[in-house]
Chains A and B, each alone.
Chain A
Amino acid sequence: MKIGWALALAGMLVFLLPRARHMLKNSPKADKGDWMALLLPLILVVGFVVLLILAVS
């Protein structure tokens, strides 16, 4: 089982690496305010997950 999962993840790496290189080269630069617009929902997601953890523990 371990070897099987390791092979699947290794295959995923082989598949992802060229795509990541391509996307890193071709992704546009962030404009002013883009990072704030991204951080806000992500912070809310973190808060929500913490809330869920507290709800079940």
Chain B
Amino acid sequence: MQPNYQTMTQTGDLAQVRNKVLKNTYTLLSMTLLFSALAAGISIAINPPHFTSLVTSISALLLMWFVLPKTANSGAGVLVVFAVTGLLGFGLGPLLNAYLHTANGSQIIMTSLGGTGIIFLALSAYALATRRDFSFMGGMLMVGMIVVVIAALANIFLEMPALSLTISAVVILLMSGFILYDTSRIVNGGETNYIMATIGLYLSIYNIFVSLLQLLGVFGGDD
């Protein structure tokens, strides 16, 4: 029986491409997380006004929607990813400063940071170890995101604390789903662009951190 060398080579090539995407994604992700933390540190030191978060968030969204898709296949895409993560990190400054001025604020921030890291590492390890295809979740996750955005939009004017907490809890679950979805897409060859993969995972980590911070801030705050 003749072994199918062509198929074996193609399978080997595919595995090589997936491993390369995975390696590049995690390298870029760790670099952007460090850069984002540095930007947040600078922002804490400068203590910019609260509307900074709005300006940096809108700038980051515009970069992600209009610039990143055009540059994702070139080296410039890496710079855009750093710009987006730097802006989002800098925008965290006023929020972190508000927590740091409470009695156990630093404990809440460190717990949120550690908790986010553990959730991300555990879910990534699960998706990598099982190699299961979670692409069936794509539509469900997007519908969940839309529901969350509508609820958040309504809560800007309703200002209901219970709804705010519910949104944070749902965001943590949704972003956990996105980590499984994005990682399985890399593992199963659905995502071959490490720049897009990095930004997806970064946003999941960022949103889990902010939501966890809010949950722990409410339940663990002294006020």
B25 interfacial contact with A, CB 8 Å: no
B128 interfacial contact with A, CB 8 Å: no
- Quote the shortest CB–CB distance from A23 to chain B (angstroms): 4
- Quote the shortest CB–CB distance from B173 to chain A (angstroms): 6
Contact with B along A1-37 (1 / 0, CB 8 A): 1101110111111011101100111111111001001
Whether the Cβ atoms of A13 and B219 lie closer than 8 Å is: no
Whether the Cβ atoms of B115 and A16 lie closer than 8 Å is: no
The answer, among A24, A48, A56, for a CB contact under 8 Å with B143, is A24
- Residues of A contacting B176 in the complex (Cβ-Cβ under 8 angstroms): 41-42, 45
Whether the Cβ atoms of B142 and A28 lie closer than 8 Å is: no
The answer, among B107, B111, B119, B220, for a CB contact under 8 Å with A45, is B119
B153 interfacial contact with A, CB 8 Å: yes
Size of B's binding interface in residues, CB under 8 A? 50
B34 interfacial contact with A, CB 8 Å: no
B199 interfacial contact with A, CB 8 Å: no
User: Restricting to B64-120, which residues have a CB under 8 Å from any CB of A?
Assistant: 65, 104, 107-108, 111-112, 115, 118-119
Task: Please list the residues of chain B having a beta carbon within 8 angstroms of any beta carbon in chain A.
Answer: 50-51, 54, 57-58, 61, 65, 104, 107-108, 111-112, 115, 118-119, 122-123, 126, 130, 132-143, 145-146, 149-150, 152-153, 156-157, 169, 172-173, 176-177, 180, 212, 215-216, 219-220
Known: A12-B61, A42-B177, A52-B112. 6 other contacts (CB 8 A): A13-B149, A23-B138, A26-B139, A31-B133, A48-B115, A48-B119
Whether the Cβ atoms of A19 and B142 lie closer than 8 Å is: yes
A30 to B152, CA, bound (A): 29
A8 to B176, CA, bound (A): 23
- Residues of A contacting B118 in the complex (Cβ-Cβ under 8 angstroms): 48
The answer, among A1, A30, A37, for a CB contact under 8 Å with B51, is A1
Whether the Cβ atoms of A13 and B150 lie closer than 8 Å is: yes
Whether the Cβ atoms of A37 and B138 lie closer than 8 Å is: no
A55 to B119, CA, bound (A): 16
User: Do A45 and B50 form a contact, CB below 8 Å, given A13-B149, A37-B132?
Assistant: no
Whether the Cβ atoms of A56 and B107 lie closer than 8 Å is: yes
User: Do A16 and B146 form a contact, CB below 8 Å, given A24-B139, A56-B107?
Assistant: yes
User: Do A49 and B54 form a contact, CB below 8 Å, given A5-B156, A16-B146, A23-B139?
Assistant: no
The answer, among B61, B122, B173, for a CB contact under 8 Å with A46, is B173
Which residue of chain A has its CB nearest to the CB of B143? A20
- Residues of A contacting B140 in the complex (Cβ-Cβ under 8 angstroms): 27
